[in-house]
Each structure stands twice: as C-alpha cells, then as structure tokens.
Chains A and B, each alone.
Chain A
Amino acid sequence: MNFIERYLAAAAGLQEVCVGQDIRCRVDLAMSHDVTAPIAIQQFEQIGIDRVFDPQKVVLVIDHIFPAATVQARTAHWIMKEFARKYGVTLYSKGEGVCHQLLSERHRLQPGQILVGADSHTCTAGGYGVIGIPVGSTELAAAMATGTIDLEVPPVVEVYLTGALQGYAAGKDIVLHLIRHFGVDGLTDKAVVFTGPGIACLPLEERMTICNMGIEMGAMIACFGSESKADQVAETVELPLEKIAPVAACPPSPANVKPVAELGDIAVSQVVIGSCTNGRLNDVAKAVAVLRRHPVHPDVNCLIIPASKIVLDEMETRGWCKILRDAGAVVTNPGCGPCFGAHQGLGAEQDVIVSTTNRNFPGRMGHRSAGIYLTSPATAAATAVRGKITEPGALLAEEGH
C-alpha cells in the first residue's frame, strides 16, 4: 500500500484497502463556511437528530463575505451563530481569517487525519499530510451527523520533486506548472502526492499553496508525503524544481499557463495578494520586499488581504502594514477578499486583474470580461509596481540587484 492507502485503511478500521474499494472512514474534523454552511445546517436539521457526532470536531468559519456585503450574507452569519450555540460547535465569526488557514493555525493538523470540508480548497491541509476531502453541503451535513464519510480508494499519481527552486520561483509556480501538465480534469477522482528530495526546499506555507490548487486539476486528494518515493502508485511524474520559472495562468482557465517572461506587455488595473492560496506571512513578505522600495503604479489598485488575524498581527508588529499603505496599497481585513466574487474588489468589464488566488474562470471576480491572471505573490507585487505583468527578476534587475 502507498501512504494514502495506509491513511485511508486506518481511518476505515481496515488492515488494507485497494484502488476502487468503497470504504467508510471516520472523520477527524468537519468544516464549513458562510457560503456552504447555511445549506449544510438546513440539511442537518432535516436528518432529525439532536446532536453532531462530536462538537469538538465541527468547525464553522465566517470568511467568504465578512463583513456582510448584503442582507442575505448577514442572514447566513446568523444561521451559523444559532447553530453553533445550539450544538456547541466551534465558530470563527469575527473575521479571524480564511477557513483553511484557521484550521492550520488552530487545530493541530496531523498526517493521516481525515478532514471533510464544504469547500473545494479543503485539500490545502494536504501540506500537513492531512487527507482533506472537499465536499458539498449535504455531504458535510451527513458527516456532521455520522462522523463518517463514504469514499472510494483513489489511484495515486506521484509528483516526485528533485532539485530546488531558483530565483523568484515559488510554490505557486510549481503548482501552476503542474496544472498546465495535467489539465483542469487530468486528476479527477485521483489522489496526487508530492514526494522527493525537492520538498526539503518547500516550507509548510508553500506546501499548502501547492495542495490548495490540487482541486484545479480535479484531484480528490492532494497531499505531501515523505522525501522518499511512494510505494505502489499508478504513475510517477518527476519534476526538477530548478527548471521552474515564474508563470501566470492566463484567462480563462487555471490550466492556461505561460511563462511570465513570454507574456509581452499586458497592462493591469488591479493586483490582489491574499487568499487561502497565497495570503500567508511568507507571501506578504514578497510584496513588502518590492513595495518598500517602489510605489504602486498610479493606474493600479493593489489589495493585500491577510489570510488570518495571526498573519495581520505579525504584519503590524513588523511595520509592514504602514509600508504597504505608504506604497499605495490597501490592506483589508483577513478573509477571502474578492477571490470568490462577492465583495472587496470586484472587476468591471475593462479591468485586468493579477491575483494570487486560485481561480480565473470568467466572472470569478466580477464582470465576465474582466481578465484574471493568476501568479505568485512576487510576480503580483512586481506587476503592481510596473502596471503591467512583470517577471519579478526583471524589476529587481532594474534596481541593480
């Protein structure tokens, strides 16, 4: 068995499992947020039981539309507050941050745990070796009631990382490269695991970024393993990290990936740095490194959205918020920001947006015609300064670095 099969077998109480086998796994954490929780709660109430399987293991997060942009959004918050009070479950309701980041900061994630989350980016926890299963609201309701989830054991595709990242390339560039390779549905119903000596150059935050976008290849599970090769996998793809250069996913798909250096002049009107993909301290650091020396271009809105209150606190301690504001950027409250298309920086028809978020589908952040390019924080920050999509090395070369 490979390590995914070992984790799943343990969670199902079985000695061994094989690909395609239908199993029922115990759930270690069940999570939902303000977009998916109201329906999950309604479905849970339909079941007709008076308790969740374990209140300590159910987490609700208000992060997608906070503070509320509409009356309906605020109503969703109330539904969650009442459910949390009635069943005694954990609720983050004051803008503490994005659900995936909060789970990592406050819930002691451990390899082999089964996390069921009503958000497609639940795979982010794979950075910790957690099996993060993204589900919809009804399946989450069933998990809250039973403490179990039914799964089929997936074939495992191994990405074996060698070497080390060079220059300004980051975890985001690795995963965009992989999405181009596999396509948006290349890993549907499969697990993707990351192994090899190359993972040593990737801190936990970068591993989270990589797993976060596993769903953008259709994967059921995205998960980091040990440095050594995994046993008995369906396929191994070797990726030498020194060959990774800064890239951008161009409209209209996360798989439409091109090297930034080959894009030519593309004028940009908004830059978004944040989200569960790239809103951590190491990501904001890239923006600070650039913006402390260069102001934001006059034609660009530059939005910085910390992934959590803990990230924002540290930004303030280090004096980064003032540096960013003085450069002409806006630092918002922690949360999802405009990633999900509900508030805090939507684009009009003529906008061109460079964002560190995870999706660039048409209309994702406002008007269908607003182009969205997905990049790493370093590329986004260099772009905010130049006002056109810019390879971070090019900006720094100009400075004589």
Chain B
Amino acid sequence: MEPIKGRIWVFGDNIDTDQILPGYAMAEAAANLGRFAMAGSKMPDFSSQVKPGDIIVAGKNFGGGSSREQAPVALRAAGVSLVIAPSFARIFRRNSINIGLPVLLADIREHVKTGDWIEVDLAAGTIRTADKVLAGQPLAPTVLATVQAGGLINRVRQELGITD
C-alpha cells in the first residue's frame, strides 16, 4: 500500500461521536456529511479549512459514544485520509475500517503540531515527520486486507464470490 502523506490537525482526548458529527446532522445525505465534520468539537469550522488528504492526530479514546457510522463517513467526506490516536473507541475503530478509512494506533502529539506534514506507512506502522520517524502499531493483516479492499462490503463480496 502506498504511504499516506498529508497535513495534520491536532485534537485532544475523548473526541466523541457527537463532536465528530452532531445529532442534528445525522439525517443529512451522505454526500453532505463532510460539511458537518467536527462541527460539534471546539473547532466547528474544521470542514471549511480541511483539505483532501489531511490527517487527524488526536488523543485517547477518539470516537467514543455512538455507533453512528455517519461520523467516520463525515470525516472521509471532508477529505480526511487517516486518523492517528493512542486509542480509539471500539465501534468507531471498526466503522472506520469497514468504510475504508484507516486508523492508526500511535501517540505522536508531543512530536507534532497542527499544520505539520507527515508520511505514514500503515503496514509498517511508521510515521515520518520533518525530522524523525515515530513508531505506531502496524495494522493487523485482516484489518489491512479490509482497508485495501476498500472496506468491508468489498470483502464480503469477495467472500461470497460475487464478481459482477
């Protein structure tokens, strides 16, 4: 898999799903969800500033709370290519992988700031900043396979032998 290269946005601990996508935006069409990405956080104008390929670097327990898959969909629709955090809420982590949005376990906040550029190798779990290489947890083979397939639906199709 090609390395992911992008500019980063740094957030704190416990960014829950209501901050990632507030309840009032849940019924919006998927195509519009990007406009509401992080609208409930302390950076409500995130969606107007984020650029395609940008990376979120956050603190512990990113994505806590709801099972709403619209939350990772909103991040992806806004252009986010990867989320890096020392821990993720279980359902958010699985949802992200299932829709093909990679998440990486690593705590790099003390080494970076918003606006920095980094390059990430998901299979190796390494994060390259301007002056150093940081270690994260490499994606497990099954998780990497789902990400590479473009999400769980493609993997289910493969397993059921559906090719059309």
User: Which residues of A line the B interface, CB within 8 A?
Assistant: 22, 35-36, 39, 42-43, 46-49, 65, 70, 72-73, 75-76, 117-120, 122, 134-139, 141-142, 145-146, 150, 184-185, 188-189, 215, 218, 220, 253, 340-342, 359, 361-364, 368
Contacts and interface: CB of A to CB of B under 8 A. Distances in A.
Contact of B152 (A138, A340, A359): A138
A39 B69 contact: yes
A342 B28 CA distance: 12
A138 B67 contact: no
B156 A47 contact: yes
21 contacts: A36-B69, A39-B30, A46-B153, A47-B153, A72-B28, A72-B29, A117-B67, A136-B94, A138-B69, A138-B99, A138-B151, A138-B152, A138-B153, A184-B61, A185-B61, A188-B61, A215-B91, A220-B90, A341-B22, A361-B16, A361-B18
Contacts of B69: 36, 39, 118, 136-138
A145 B153 CA distance: 10
B18 A362 contact: yes
A29 to B, nearest CB: 16
Given A138-B99, A220-B90, A36 B153 contact: no
Nearest to B157: A47
Contact of B67 (A70, A135, A146): A135
Nearest to A346: B24
B67 A363 contact: no
Contacts of B40: 362-363, 368
Nearest to B155: A142
B47 interface: no
A118 B65 contact: no
Given A47-B160, A359-B18, A362-B40, A76 B60 contact: no
A48 B161 CA distance: 11
A69 to B, nearest CB: 9
Contact of A138 (B27, B30, B95): B95
A146 B158 CA distance: 12
Contact of B23 (A36, A43, A342): A342
B126 to A, nearest CB: 24
Given A35-B27, A47-B157, A218 B64 contact: yes
Contacts of B67: 36, 117-120, 122, 134-136
Nearest to B61: A185
A72 B27 CA distance: 6
Interface residues of B toward A: which range?
35 or more
B49 interface: no
B66 A120 contact: yes
Specify which of A22, A150, A361 lies most central, judged by the most chain B CB atoms within 10 Å of its CB. A361
B164 interface: yes
A65 B19 CA distance: 20
B60 A185 contact: yes
B68 interface: yes
A49 B24 contact: no
Contacts of A145: 156, 160
Nearest to A64: B26
B160 A49 contact: yes
B98 interface: yes
Contacts of B98: 136, 138-139, 142
A39 B73 contact: yes
A188 B87 contact: yes
B90 A189 contact: yes
A203 to B, nearest CB: 27
A146 B27 contact: no
A184 B14 contact: yes
Contacts of A185: 14, 60-61, 64, 87, 89
Contact of A35 (B16, B26, B156): B26
Given A48-B162, A189-B90, A65 B27 contact: yes
Given A138-B99, A188-B90, A189-B90, A342 B68 contact: no
Interface in B16-57: 16, 18-19, 22-24, 26-30, 40
